[in-house]
Amino acid sequence: MNAKIAIVGAGPSGCYTAQALLKCAPGLEVDVIDAQPTPFGLVRYGVAADHQGTKGVARQFARIFTRQGARFLGNLSIGDETTVEDLRQAYDAVVFAAGMSGDRRLGIPGDDLAGVIGSGALTRALYEHPDAGPFPVLGDTPVIIGTGNVAIDILRLLAKTPEELRGSDLGPGPSAWLAAQRFRKITVVGRSSAASARFSPVMIKELADLATVDLSVVFPDPDGASVLNTAVTSTSGPLPVEFRFESRPAALEKTGGGLHLQVETPQGRDTIAASSVISAIGFTSKGTLDRDAILRAADEPDGARGRVYATGWFRNGPVGAIPQCREEAQALAQRILSELQPDPDRVGRQLFAQHPDIVDFDHWQQIDAQEVAAAPADRCRQKISRREELLRPSNLQDA
Ligand SMILES: Cc1cc2nc3c(=O)[nH]c(=O)nc-3n(C[C@H](O)[C@H](O)[C@H](O)COP(=O)(O)OP(=O)(O)OC[C@H]3O[C@@H](n4cnc5c(N)ncnc54)[C@H](O)[C@@H]3O)c2cc1C
């Protein structure tokens, strides 16, 4: 079939959609567009630096561009110069797989105080996202709010020694920042009970294997066999890490030198002193796309839909890991193929003929090769973080 499809977002959802489309219909022109000069979304900028096995999915995604014929159009933010309507006119179908990049706020009084940091802002700084802000000041007693895997990823990285980060792709700046932290205690606060916390048991086992931590639990799971209860008895490192379940954040105040987090617990209101608060309670849509309008268009009945589709975190909110993105993308690809009505007059990627700064997959492969070649002995890559450097091919060719 000779149709033109644009996918906005080169994260797992966009890549898996391209993969499934091209597997069933190799003749399609599939353009995967990303605002960043680098592909793979949160695989590069979210999945933990010390989880290189998970990041290995990028090698599978690369084959979509090197073997299946998809095109990568990087450094092209849709919603700025190029509008959603421009894309709809140029392509037979447009898939929005643009993820969620804003930190969800706590929604309690004081959640905008200095010292309250979103998990996305922190991980973007740690993983050297081109749009990252400066490193936050965490102080000696940070509190992490949230008990999902993102919260546990952050906790683990904060607790690891430099030796335990060997083999990761954490850059020299983030590594030095982590090594300079002097925590007396880290507290993890969650609304749910210990039994219904969203972290995966594997993540807790990994945490318990660290030499540094001494885990304890307030309001533990009464089932003595839970993985966290086992971890409490097996850890005795120098850094106290306290999990406080059934503690609903109610307000934040700044008094004296630090923050005070008030929480509602089954035993009444309690106050937790915090040098900083890292909120890891999810993400919202942020940026140049009108998500609500796009989802409305995507949900219109066949025919009226205007060939707009949405998938992944952009569609569902920040839930689901990479395997779920794959499942959803495969089902979506079938639907798109059954509804496609190619129009030879659509211009496809010629829409971008006048955009001088778009980068292609060859360009990414040069960045990738340079990053791997520049890696110090205890790292698997050294990321290039500044957008200007990511965009400068001459710099890449000189390397
Ligand atoms: C900190 C963290 C750790 C995680 N760890 C794991 C893990 O270990 N294992 C696991 O399975 N899952 C993990 N996940 C979940 C996993 O990352 C998500 O399931 C997955 O990335 C969602 O894919 P997506 O393609 O929908 O969104 P994303 O990965 O966010 O990709 C969206 C892409 O769209 C691009 N984009 C956004 N707006 C525009 C625009 N206007 N124009 C063009 N492009 C745009 C972005 O630059 C981005 O590249 C983690 C998530 C986080 C936040």
CATH number, position 255: 3.50.50.60
Strands 248-255 and 258-265: antiparallel
Per-residue pLDDT of 243-260, as tens digits, reads: 999 999 999 999 887 999
Q: Is 196 found in the same domain as 218? A: yes
Domain boundary, last residue among 229, 256, 283 = 283
Q: Which residues, in sequence order, are CB contacts of 209 under 8 Å at separation 6+?
A: none
- The DSSP secondary-structure symbol of 168 reads S
Lookup: tokens for 56: 């290995």
Q: Is the pTM of this model over 0.85?
A: yes
Task: State yes or no: pLDDT of 199 exceeds 50.
Answer: yes
Q: Contact at 8 Å (CB) between 250 and 108? A: yes
pLDDT reported for residue 304: 59
Lookup: tokens for 230: 């086992």
C-alpha of residue 219 to centroid of ligand 1, in Å: 33
CB distance 46 to ligand 1 below 6 Å: yes
pLDDT reported for residue 397: 52
Lookup: tokens for 282: 């999810």
pLDDT reported for residue 223: 82
Q: Is 123 found in the same domain as 88? A: no
User: Number of folded domains in the chain?
Assistant: 2
CB distance 9 to ligand 1 below 6 Å: yes
pLDDT reported for residue 222: 86
Q: Is 120 found in the same domain as 59? A: no
C-alpha of residue 103 to centroid of ligand 1, in Å: 13
Q: Contact at 8 Å (CB) between 338 and 361? A: no
Per-residue pLDDT averaged across 293-297, rounded?
A: 93
Task: State yes or no: pLDDT of 226 exceeds 90.
Answer: no
- Residue 326: burial class (beta carbons within 10 Å; 0-12, 13-18, 19+): buried
Provide φ and ψ at 169, rounded to 5°. Answer: -110, 30
Q: Which of 149, 145, 120 is nearest to 54 (CA)?
A: 149
Q: Which residues, in sequence order, are CB contacts of 91 under 8 Å at separation 6+?
A: 4, 5, 6, 31, 307, 346, 348
- The DSSP secondary-structure symbol of 92 reads S
Q: Is 251 found in the same domain as 148? A: yes
pLDDT reported for residue 396: 54
Q: Contact at 8 Å (CB) between 119 and 279? A: yes
- The DSSP secondary-structure symbol of 236 reads -
Strands 186-189 and 142-145: parallel
Q: Is 368 found in the same domain as 250? A: no
Provide φ and ψ at 111, rounded to 5°. Answer: -75, -5
CB distance 322 to ligand 1 below 6 Å: yes
How much is the mean pLDDT over the chain?
94
Q: Which residue has the tokens 């009505």?
A: 341
Per-residue pLDDT of 353-365, as tens digits, reads: 999 899 999 999 9
Per-residue pLDDT averaged across 185-202, rounded?
A: 95
CATH number, position 45: 3.40.50.720
Lookup: tokens for 368: 């990738």
Provide φ and ψ at 380, rounded to 5°. Answer: -95, -15
Atom from ligand 1 closest to the CA of residue 9? 34
Q: By residue range, what is the domain housing residue 199?
A: 104-283
Q: Is 122 found in the same domain as 93? A: no
Per-residue burial over 277-289, b = 16 or more CB atoms within 10 Å of its CB, e = otherwise: bbbbbbbebebeb
d(CA 38, CA 72) in angstroms, rounded, equals: 9
Provide φ and ψ at 197, rounded to 5°. Answer: -60, 150
CB distance 171 to ligand 1 below 6 Å: no
- The DSSP secondary-structure symbol of 40 reads S
Q: Is 336 found in the same domain as 200? A: no
Predicted confidence band at 399 (pLDDT cuts at 50, 70, 90)? Answer: very low
Domain boundary, last residue among 283, 300, 333 = 283
Task: State yes or no: pLDDT of 267 exceeds 80.
Answer: yes
pLDDT reported for residue 158: 98
Q: Is 252 found in the same domain as 133? A: yes
Q: Is 380 found in the same domain as 312? A: yes
Domain boundary, last residue among 260, 283, 306 = 283
Atom from ligand 1 closest to the CA of residue 283? 53
CB distance 42 to ligand 1 below 6 Å: yes
Strand ranges in the chain using DSSP code E only, listed in sequence order: 4-8, 29-34, 71-74, 93-96, 102-103, 116-118, 142-145, 186-189, 213-218, 239-244, 248-255, 258-265, 268-274, 276-279, 283-284, 308-310
C-alpha of residue 283 to centroid of ligand 1, in Å: 11
pLDDT reported for residue 387: 95
Task: State yes or no: pLDDT of 303 exceeds 60.
Answer: no
| Ligand 1 mutation pick, 40, 47, 52, max ligand atoms within 8 A of CB | 47
- As a whole-number percent, the residues of the chain with pLDDT over 70 amount to 97
Task: State yes or no: pLDDT of 275 exceeds 90.
Answer: yes
Lookup: tokens for 33: 């567009």
Q: Is 293 found in the same domain as 278? A: no
Atom from ligand 1 closest to the CA of residue 119? 1
pLDDT reported for residue 225: 79
Q: Is 117 found in the same domain as 85? A: no
Per-residue pLDDT of 61-95, as tens digits, reads: 999 999 999 999 999 999 988 999 999 999 999 99
Task: State yes or no: pLDDT of 305 exceeds 80.
Answer: no
pLDDT reported for residue 367: 96
C-alpha of residue 165 to centroid of ligand 1, in Å: 23
pLDDT reported for residue 250: 98
